[in-house]
Structure 1
Amino acid sequence: MNKQKIQTNKRTIKRNENFIKTAEQLKPELLQTVAHPDHFAAISEDLSAIHGWRIHHTAPAAELAGRDYGKGDHFILDFGTHLVGFISMFIKPVGSPPDAPLRLRLTFGEMPVEMAEPFSQYNGWISSSWLQEETIYIDIMPGLVELPRRYSFRYVKFEVLDTSPKYRVAFEEIACRTVTSADNSRVKPLIHEDEMMREIDKVSVKTLQNCMQDVFEDGPKRDRRLWLGDLRLQALANYETFQHDKLVKRCLYLFAGLPDENGQVAANLYTAPAYIADDTYFFDYSLLFVTTLHDYYFAAEDLSTLVELWPTAFRQIEIALDRLDDHGLVKDDDSWYSFIDWHEKLNKQAASQGVLIYAMKQALKLAEVLESDKGRFLQKQLQETSSVAIAHLWDKQMGYFLSGKEKQISWASQIWMVLAEVLPEAENRQLMQRLLSEQPGIGLTTPYMHHYLVEALIQVGEKEQAVSHIKGYWGEMIKDGADAFWEAYDPNDKSFSPYGSQLINSYCHAWSCTPSYFIRKFHL
């Protein structure tokens, strides 16, 4: 989480055991493969590289068989691609029988910076325990060692902290047992004339694959949880690639099975040691339950799930409407939190109004499918919240939606109001063209919000601009070394971290996987 104020308070959870039982029955089998390192690697400082560090291959990993190491020695292995799984190795002593334990430190990195900068110098503000490092003691050698903790990495640094003067150690059979619930055989090959778009699709699919575990995780390095905002985007990409609709259904039932006493779904869930709702609630994320259910129904045509989960979805609309003031605007004070994007200066009132309208329109479509009597109520609320948005947030002279007391102009406000279709189609297109041309200062900081920018561009018919943005943003990430897409990326400030340190950033993150959705769904 970011330093911005986030509502975290204890609430009474009203468990729906039937929903939780359904989710448990949908728990997937994890598919496993074995991966081996490709090369030895060295790290060097390079100010032209992302984060200032570059990896160089020095020798094939096969040469490991002829090497041994003593106290103070270290080496780095590159597995050649991003992996999520469990590492193992066979360690044997060289020389005299080992008269003292081997003390070994393993450092796992998704990016070169994690191999270069000591974790002891970490100064971010979220827990350093997320840094992927393991110090182990090996008493009996030779023998096979498998680390019990799952890691997300491409690079591994081995440091022999101590042995004894009598022996050295050699490493054999280093391997990673990868795990995912994504079946690659279900992904149709992408036929595309643009090499960059093919590569972006490949990395998108890899990102989604590594985040698909027994739920859709937000990131396999950190936080390893089921977040609603990430789920919505992962599900979209999944429908066009792995088609694991049962995993989406499982996640929806988990959220619906763990609401608070008011019926609100949490922003994220833990799945171990039991299914637990986190004490974090976001205005926009709760509404995205409606959106995710909407997308799921129209992808899977699963009417029975829609019937069961519709009351939970509609309740999120009711709770959000309780947040409106006398004018019909989302109240903008210190008593709430809406995520929208990582930007400390972003006022979120207008964007949140847009999310509400967007979700209500999707709820209305579901009500029509169900022939629900809630449809008339939703029609009325949509008319009122849209009219209020134009009356109080739209500045016709400036040509932008304004947010908060200071009447802030931000990208996020315009994007969500376009997605909500508050203005007529032609004016929405003009607004997006104006946004790209004038580029207001309160911009976008995460692939999450860049997804919604591309979605808005496609919605107003600006497909060429959508392609240009995908290539300019996700393509630039690939040029900076991404083999899975990242949690946070600002091409104009490549040192950006919402947590105060690049070491703690997630470099395989669920909300960045959607280029494959756009490329395949809309034939970009």
Structure 2
Amino acid sequence: MQNRRTDRGSFFPVFWKMDNHYVLMDFHKTFTLQQAEDVHIYAEGRYNVKIDGQLQEGTPLIITIPAGTHKINVKVFSQGTVPAIFVQGKTIVSDTSWLLTYEDKEWIDETGKTSDISATKWVNAGSSNFNDPSSPPSQFKLAVQPQAPVSVIKKGDTSLIDFGKETFGYIQLHGIKGKGSINIIYGESKEEAMSDSEAITLDRLHFDKDVNTDSTLPLSKAFRYVKLETAPGFTVDSVCMLYEYVDIPDKGSFRCSDTLINKIYDVAKYTLHLNTREFFIDGIKRDRWVWSGDAYQSYLMNYYLMNDDETVKRTIYALRGKDPVTSHINTIMDYTFYWFLSIYDYYLYSGDTAFIKQNYPRMQTLMDFCLQRRNKDGLMEGLPGDWIFIDWAAGLSKQGEVSFEQMLFCRSLETIALCANINNDAKGAAAYTKLAKNVKKKLFAYYWNEQKKALVHSRINGVPTSNVTRYANMFGIFFHYFTPKQEQEIKDNVLLNDSVQKITTPYMRFYELEALCALGDQQHVLQEMRDYWGGMLQLGATSFWEEYDPSKQDTEHYAMYGRAFGKSLCHAWGASPVYLLGKYYLGVSPTSPGYATYTVQPSLGGLQWMEGKVPTPHGSIELHCDTKQIKIKATEGEGILHIKSRTVPKGNNIMIKTLGDNVYEMRLEPNINYTITYKAM
């Protein structure tokens, strides 16, 4: 998937190591049958079958398993496709309870005896999409839907086709007649489509002989506009497209009294859907790659919109790849740490313990790689081959020991310690916890500047710099690393301080606004959303961009990376309002894995009313809130509702607990419709 990127027609592969699938896999499961059973076997690749260790003759399509307890092994070899099996009997079926390995460390001695001691590591098989033997995994394709342009402006042999909004798919040419060349220039903006020399994506077709045919271009592209140029005497009757998408329904929603915020939410949703493909990718035009920092934000947005576990898991697996580890994920140090954070977040939102157990060994080897690259002070500093990204920001120093990297490093150690406990690795949990505490101690000892009341950006040669940036400071807010006094100091001296370098990417605006929401400043954040995301809408955006700087003019908005149209106008990290509105306005957050317990802390932030739905693993939490009344219902879990009210709330089936400072608490049970009257602050 990541090798579909092209740049002006040239193949443009990723910058990092690409791992292929394991070509030889052994699947097995032990069954106990009351009576004999015929079992059909389908596989992608060459395979053999063993029953109780005995190899079956040939390549059986049907095997008979006798009554009793028996073990079935299916070993599959395939270089061109991922080895896969589909097994179907009356009771014996292929599912995630089957175990598999890419190396069965067993041998047969000179007597013919199979070894009875094995170091083989078995893991649970995946079972997401091989549900029909006539549709094997290698034939998987995203769904497509025909779409027509909203306008076509034709001038001589050139046509400018407008599909009305940012989209993704395959161009279809109907009624191609004659011979000669066709040039197709794609543009997320009209200006890009009209620029033969600067457009990022294009197709050039040539027909040596007279044709009278239709054609669908072989590679999907991102665009709103398409310029079609034909050679004299060569014609194309019409142009349309096949919109390509992942058919995942929305399970979450948000609506409120502010029509601009509703528009921002809708465009954010569309942006996330466009960048949700086989995996969560960064942007649909330029990279079309799986970047860990981008994906981490997509996971969080996904939990409040689609709540699709399979795409999260596929993306996490794809980013991690195989051992041995030879570089940071995407070559970026911070992106390695985001990968760790994504594991625990997935567990918190899904409750999927099996995934944590399966990935713990990969977490260990990746953390070993990080620990081996610490400097003499036990901190993370860029080494040759490491990319310290942080953010796109002019003049941002990446030298020395950057406080932001230590912040993420500390959180990653805390995360792997939690996962060690889930895996009953007490020794590992203790070691990782000790390391995390040590890094956290150094974070404040080395970087906290009492005069500036904030963490400084970096240390160089062991000496702290005086520069304060927003990154480590805002992450420390929602990581809950600061005291309440420090949080207020950082809010005043960093987050609301215009003299501290401002953030211009939606990527880091995500975290900046999350920090302000975590501090209870939803009213300020709502205005920031109106200004920032609303600013893109005023400029005609139909999906949200990779970067937005209000000070830029006209086509300057499209430029990036030294290219006139290098910027992505549909970037996953631009969709963060989906997450912010769900978590910090509807106020719904899990407090234990899989929403077994959760909190609801609605905050209107200046809105007159809002309503929405937050998906949970087996249901949802629905909420309506205005200045006088809250209605809420959850289908699972034990919840706690926190309300700020000028008066004591009243309602059905509730016990009110006063927490002070006009804050009240009540417990929520599943499948009860609660209606609570209160007076908003």
SS of the equivalent of 1:149 reads: coil
Give the Cα separation in 2 of the matches to 1:318 and 1:420.
Answer: 23
CA contact (8 A) 1:357 1:386 kept: yes
Deviation at 1:75, TM superposition (A): 2.4
CA contact (8 A) 2:168 2:274 kept: yes
**Aligned match of 1:276:** none
CA contact (8 A) 2:374 2:381 kept: yes
Deviation at 1:491, TM superposition (A): 2.1
- Name the CA shift for 1:193/1:368 in 2 (closer, same or farther; >3 Å): farther
Q: 2:329 aligns with which of 266, 282, 300?
A: 266
**Aligned match of 2:132:** none
SS of the equivalent of 2:280 reads: coil
Q: 1:38 aligns with which of 130, 137, 150?
A: 150
Deviation at 1:475, TM superposition (A): 1.9
Q: Report Cα offsets for 1:8-56 as digits up to 9, x if no partner.
A: 9987969767798657955765222111101235xxxxxxxxxxxxxxx
Residues 198-347 of structure 1 correspond to what in structure 2 (within 5 A)? 198-261=262-325, 266-267=329-330, 281-331=331-381, 336-347=386-397
**Aligned match of 1:158:** 228
Give the Cα separation in 2 of the matches to 1:379 and 1:221.
Answer: 42
**Aligned match of 2:628:** none
The one-letter code sitting in structure 2 at the alignment partner of 1:312 is: R
Q: 1:404 aligns with which of 452, 455, 459?
A: 459
Higher relative contact order (CA 8 A, sep 6+): 1
- Name the CA shift for 1:15/1:159 in 2 (closer, same or farther; >3 Å): closer
SS of the equivalent of 2:255 reads: coil
Question: Does the alignment pair 1:119 with 2:181?
Answer: no
**Aligned match of 2:448:** 394
Question: Does the alignment pair 1:353 with 2:422?
Answer: no
- Name the CA shift for 1:284/1:182 in 2 (closer, same or farther; >3 Å): farther
Give the Cα separation in 1 of the matches to 2:334 and 2:305.
Answer: 26
Deviation at 1:109, TM superposition (A): 0.9
TM-score, normalised by the number of residues in structure 1: 0.79
**Aligned match of 2:186:** 108
Q: Report Cα offsets for 1:358-385 as digits up to 9, x if no partner.
A: 3233334334444432222232222211
CA contact (8 A) 1:287 1:355 kept: yes
Q: Report Cα offsets for 1:419-475 as digits up to 9, x if no partner.
A: 443321331233023223322443323211111112222233322233232222222
**Aligned match of 2:415:** 362
Deviation at 1:256, TM superposition (A): 3.5
Bigger share in helix: 1
SS of the equivalent of 2:235 reads: strand
Give the Cα separation in 2 of the matches to 1:89 and 1:177.
Answer: 11
Deviation at 1:286, TM superposition (A): 0.8
Give the Cα separation in 2 of the matches to 1:466 and 1:23.
Answer: 41
Gaps of 5+ in 1: 1-7, 42-66, 123-127, 268-280
SS of the equivalent of 1:32 reads: strand
Q: 2:174 aligns with which of 90, 95, 104?
A: 90
What's the Cα RMSD here? 2.9
Question: Does the alignment pair 1:177 with 2:242?
Answer: yes
SS of the equivalent of 2:459 reads: coil
Give the Cα separation in 2 of the matches to 1:157 and 1:197.
Answer: 33
SS of the equivalent of 1:82 reads: strand
The one-letter code sitting in structure 1 at the alignment partner of 2:316 is: L
Q: Report Cα offsets for 1:223-251 as digits up to 9, x if no partner.
A: 11111111111111112212221111112
Stretch of structure 1 that moved more, 19-28 or 441-450: 19-28
Residues 403-482 of structure 1 correspond to what in structure 2 (within 5 A)? 403-405=458-460, 406-482=465-541
CA contact (8 A) 2:452 2:493 kept: no
Q: Report Cα offsets for 1:164-183 as digits up to 9, x if no partner.
A: 4xxx63523x2211112142
Stretch of structure 1 that moved more, 470-479 or 334-343: 334-343
SS of the equivalent of 1:358 reads: helix
Deviation at 1:390, TM superposition (A): 1.1
Residues 364-379 of structure 1 correspond to what in structure 2 (within 5 A)? 364-373=417-426, 374-379=428-433
Q: Report Cα offsets for 1:161-218 as digits up to 9, x if no partner.
A: x224xxx63523x2211112142x3344432222111111111111111112212121
Question: Does the alignment pair 1:79 with 2:142?
Answer: no
Stretch of structure 1 that moved more, 431-440 or 245-254: 431-440
Residues 19-34 of structure 1 correspond to what in structure 2 (within 5 A)? 30-34=142-146
- The 4+ residue runs of structure 1 with deviation greater than 4 A are 8-29, 332-335
**Aligned match of 2:621:** none
Deviation at 1:79, TM superposition (A): 0.8
The one-letter code sitting in structure 2 at the alignment partner of 1:316 is: L
SS of the equivalent of 1:360 reads: helix
- Name the CA shift for 1:12/1:78 in 2 (closer, same or farther; >3 Å): closer
SS of the equivalent of 1:136 reads: strand
Question: Does the alignment pair 1:511 with 2:577?
Answer: no
